[in-house]
C-alpha cells in the first residue's frame, strides 16, 4: 500500500500538518526502510495546492501512485472536490483529516474570522463548503471521537490520535526536580538558526509548572479555573514559577493575576525542538474550556465543548517526556488520564491537585519516568505504524463494500424504519 498525504499548512501553520501528515509519512517510510519485506508500504507528501492541478500529467503520475489519498482539512474548494472525485472514480480511497471543530470555532481563535465571519466572503460559506468536501470523501479521520460523532451523518469516521515521534523523545535529556532551569532560543550561525540551550545557574531549587501551545487557548485558561489556582500557589510558594511557552500576548489580562515575577516566558521553538521545552517542566498542565457548544454540522451531539474536540496531544507529550501532569477532566483526556490527575474546572480542584504534585514531586517525577518507558514503547507513531496501515486497510475495505453495495454472506442486514 502507498499513502499520499496532501497537506494544507504552509510554514506559518505547519504544526497541524506536522502531526496529521508529516509524522505519519515519516513513520511509514522508516518502517519500510527498516524491513521492506515485512513492511512493504510507502508514503509520500505533497502540498495540496499543487495537487489540485489533477489533470496535469505530471501531477497524475505522482498522486496516481497512491492507494489511499489523505487530504488535510482544506476540502473547501471546487478544484479540490473535482480532484477527489477524479481519484475516487479511478478506484482510489480518498480521506479527509480534521483535527479541529471548524463549524463552531470560538471568537478567541484567530481562525474565527475565516470560518465563522467568512472574511473572504465565500459563497457558500466555509462551513457549508467543508461539509460538501466531506461528502466527496470516502471517510473522515480525526484525533477526536467527538468530531467523528459530529460528522457521522455526513461521512464514515475513523479515530487516529496524535502520536509523537519516538525519535524526538527517546534520547531526550530530562531536567530533574531542583536542577537549574533551561532557556531555549536560536542564534544565527552560518546564516542558519542554531538551537541554543542555556542553563540558568541561579534558578537551582526552583520548581516550574509549565504549558505551551498555539494561539487558540485563551478560553482554556479563562474558563478552567487554573489561573486562580496558579495565583494562589505562586503566592504561597516562593520557589514555584509558571512557565508559559508561546506567542499569545492576548493572555496578558490573565497573567496580571499572577504574582509579580512569577511568570516565566519561553519563546516558541521549532516542532523538532519542542520536546526539549516540555522536558524542562516539573509539572505540566492541560486546562480545557468545558462550556458546551453546538455542532453546526447538521448532526446533534450535545454535551461537549469546543475544547473537548481537541486531541490528547498535551498528555501524550507529557508522558513521552516523563512529566507529571494535571489536566481538565474531559473527553479527549479520558484514555490517558490514568497516568496523571484529571480535575474538575474549579480553582479549588486545580489548586489541590497541583499542591499535591508539588508536595510529592520526587514521587511523581519517578512515576512519570516509569510512564515514559511505557509511552515510548506504546504511544509513539513508530510503535503504531502497523496499526496505521491496518486502519487504512479497514477504510479501504469498508469503502469498497459501500461502493459496490456488497454484503457479507450469512449476515442479516436490517434497515431501520424511518
Q: What is the DSSP string of 23-58?
A: HHHHHHHHHHHH-TTT---EEEEEEHHHHT-TTSHH
182 touches 195 (CB < 8 A): no
Assess whether 157 and 179 both reside in one domain: no
Assess whether 172 and 308 both reside in one domain: yes
Per-residue pLDDT at 417 exceeds 60:
no
Domain total in the chain = 2
**Candidate from 117-126, 223-232, 264-273 with smallest mean pLDDT:** 264-273
- Average pLDDT of the segment spanning 383-409: 89
Q: Phi and psi dihedrals of 97, rounded to 5?
A: -115, 125
The Cβ of residue 278 has, within 10 Å, a number of other Cβ atoms equal to 23
Per-residue pLDDT at 409 exceeds 70:
no
What spatial distance separates the first Cα and last Cα of the chain, rounded to whole Å?
39
* CA pair distance 230, 234, nearest whole angstrom: 6
pLDDT tens for each residue of 150-204: 999 999 999 999 999 999 999 999 999 999 999 999 999 888 899 999 999 999 9
Q: Phi and psi dihedrals of 317, rounded to 5?
A: -65, -45
% of the chain with per-residue pLDDT over 90: 88
pLDDT tens for each residue of 312-357: 999 999 999 999 999 999 999 999 999 999 999 999 999 999 999 9
User: What cell numbers appear for 98 in the block?
Assistant: 480534521
Assess whether 151 and 7 both reside in one domain: yes
Assess whether 207 and 330 both reside in one domain: yes
**Residue 23 sits in a domain of what CATH number?**
3.40.50.2000
Q: Phi and psi dihedrals of 218, rounded to 5?
A: -55, -50
Which pLDDT does position 348 carry in this prediction? 98
The pairing of beta strand 192-200 with beta strand 181-189: antiparallel
pLDDT tens for each residue of 198-213: 999 999 999 999 999 8
Name 309's Cβ contacts closer than 8 Å, sequence gap at least 6: 100, 101, 144, 146, 147, 150, 332
Residue 35 gets the label, from left (phi > 0), alpha (psi -120 to 50) or beta, of beta
Q: Is 414 part of a structural domain of the chain?
A: no
Q: Is 410 part of a structural domain of the chain?
A: no
Per-residue pLDDT at 245 exceeds 60:
yes
46 touches 62 (CB < 8 A): yes
Q: Is 415 part of a structural domain of the chain?
A: no
pLDDT-based confidence at residue 247 (cuts at 50, 70, 90): confident
pLDDT-based confidence at residue 248 (cuts at 50, 70, 90): confident
Assess whether 218 and 145 both reside in one domain: no
Assess whether 315 and 187 both reside in one domain: yes
246 touches 215 (CB < 8 A): yes
pLDDT tens for each residue of 36-51: 999 999 999 999 999 9
Which pLDDT does position 10 carry in this prediction? 78
Q: Is 20 part of a structural domain of the chain?
A: yes
Name 45's Cβ contacts closer than 8 Å, sequence gap at least 6: 4, 5, 6, 7, 21, 22, 25
Q: Is 93 part of a structural domain of the chain?
A: yes
Name 40's Cβ contacts closer than 8 Å, sequence gap at least 6: 1, 32
Assess whether 213 and 315 both reside in one domain: yes
pLDDT-based confidence at residue 416 (cuts at 50, 70, 90): low
- Domain span at residue 29 reads 2-163+383-404
Q: Is 413 part of a structural domain of the chain?
A: no
Q: Phi and psi dihedrals of 343, rounded to 5?
A: -130, 155
51 touches 6 (CB < 8 A): yes
* Burial class of residue 249 (count of CB atoms within 10 Å of its CB; 0-12, 13-18, 19+): exposed
Residue owning grid cell 538558526: 193
**Candidate from 11-25, 76-90, 398-412 with smallest mean pLDDT:** 398-412
Assess whether 171 and 211 both reside in one domain: yes
Per-residue pLDDT at 11 exceeds 90:
no
* CA pair distance 269, 220, nearest whole angstrom: 21
Assess whether 114 and 217 both reside in one domain: no
Which pLDDT does position 305 carry in this prediction? 98
Q: Is 245 part of a structural domain of the chain?
A: yes
Cis peptide before 149 (omega within 30 of 0): no
Which pLDDT does position 136 carry in this prediction? 98
Q: Is 409 part of a structural domain of the chain?
A: no
* CA pair distance 326, 338, nearest whole angstrom: 11
- Average pLDDT of the segment spanning 117-139: 97
Assess whether 156 and 194 both reside in one domain: no
Query: Which residues on adjacent β-strands are paired with residue 142?
Result: 159
Per-residue pLDDT at 285 exceeds 70:
yes
Assess whether 87 and 190 both reside in one domain: no
Assess whether 51 and 139 both reside in one domain: yes
* CA distances for 1 relative to 21, 276, 331, 386, 396, angstroms: 16, 35, 33, 12, 11
The pairing of beta strand 283-286 with beta strand 192-200: unpaired
262 touches 234 (CB < 8 A): yes
Query: Which residues on adjacent β-strands are paired with residue 343?
Result: 328
Residue owning grid cell 516550574: 208
Which pLDDT does position 224 carry in this prediction? 98
Which pLDDT does position 215 carry in this prediction? 82
Name 392's Cβ contacts closer than 8 Å, sequence gap at least 6: 1, 3, 67, 68, 93
Amino acid at each position: 500500500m502507498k499513502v499520499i498525504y496532501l497537506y494544507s499548512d504552509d510554514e506559518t501553520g505547519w504544526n497541524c500538518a506536522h502531526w496529521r501528515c508529516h509524522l505519519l509519512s515519516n513513520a511509514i517510510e522508516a518502517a519500510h526502510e527498516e524491513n521492506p519485506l515485512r513492511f512493504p508500504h510507502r508514503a509520500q507528501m505533497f502540498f495540496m495546492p499543487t495537487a489540485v492541478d489533477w489533470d496535469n500529467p505530471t501531477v497524475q503520475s505522482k498522486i496516481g501512485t497512491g492507494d489511499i489519498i489523505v487530504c488535510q482539512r482544506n476540502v473547501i474548494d471546487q478544484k479540490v472536490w473535482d480532484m477527489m472525485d477524479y481519484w475516487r472514480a479511478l478506484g482510489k480511497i480518498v480521506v479527509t483529516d480534521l483535527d479541529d471543530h471548524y463549524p463552531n470555532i470560538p471568537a478567541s481563535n484567530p481562525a474565527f474570522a475565516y470560518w465563522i465571519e467568512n472574511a473572504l466572503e465565500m459563497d457558500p460559506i466555509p462551513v457549508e463548503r467543508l461539509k460538501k468536501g466531506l461528502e466527496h470523501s470516502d471517510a473522515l479521520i480525526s484525533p477526536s471521537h467527538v468530531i467523528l460523532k459530529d460528522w457521522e451523518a455526513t461521512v464514515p469516521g475513523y479515530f487516529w490520535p496524535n502520536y509523537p515521534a519516538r525519535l524526538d523523545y527517546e534520547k531526550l535529556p530530562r531536567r530533574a526536580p531542583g536542577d537549574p532551569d533551561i532557556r531555549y532560543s536560536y542564534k544565527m550561525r552560518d546564516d542558519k538558526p542554531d538551537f541554543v540551550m542555556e542553563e540558568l545557574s541561579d534558578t537551582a531549587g526552583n520548581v516550574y509548572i509549565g504549558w505551551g501551545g498555539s494561539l487558540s487557548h485563551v478560553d482554556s485558561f479563562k474558563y478552567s479555573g487554573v489561573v486562580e489556582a496558579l495565583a494562589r500557589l505562586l503566592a504561597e510558594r516562593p520557589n514555584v514559577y509558571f512557565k508559559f511557552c508561546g506567542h499569545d500576548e492576548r493572555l496578558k489580562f490573565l497573567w496580571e493575576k499572577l504574582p509579580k515575577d512569577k511568570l516565566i516566558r519561553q519563546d516558541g521553538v521549532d516542532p523538532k525542538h519542542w520536546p526539549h521545552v516540555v522536558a524542562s517542566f516539573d509539572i505540566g498542565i492541560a486546562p480545557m474550556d468545558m462550556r458546551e457548544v453546538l455542532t453546526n454540522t447538521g448532526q446533534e451531539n450535545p454535551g461537549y465543548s469546543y475544547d473537548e474536540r481537541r486531541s490528547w496531544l498535551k498528555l501524550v507529550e507529557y508522558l513521552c517526556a516523563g512529566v507529571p501532569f494535571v489536566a481538565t477532566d474531559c473527553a479527549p483526556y479520558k484514555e490517558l488520564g490514568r497516568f496523571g490527575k484529571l480535575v474538575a474546572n474549579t480553582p479549588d480542584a486545580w489548586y489541590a491537585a497541583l499542591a499535591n504534585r508539588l508536595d510529592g514531586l520526587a514521587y511523581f517525577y519517578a512515576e512519570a519516568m516509569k510512564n515514559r518507558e511505557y509511552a515510548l514503547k506504546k504511544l509513539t507513531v513508530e510503535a503504531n505504524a502497523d496499526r496505521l496501515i491496518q486502519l487504512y486497510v479497514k477504510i479501504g475495505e469498508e469503502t469498497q463494500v459501500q461502493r459496490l453495495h456488497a454484503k457479507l454472506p450469512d449476515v442479516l442486514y436490517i434497515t431501520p424504519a424511518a
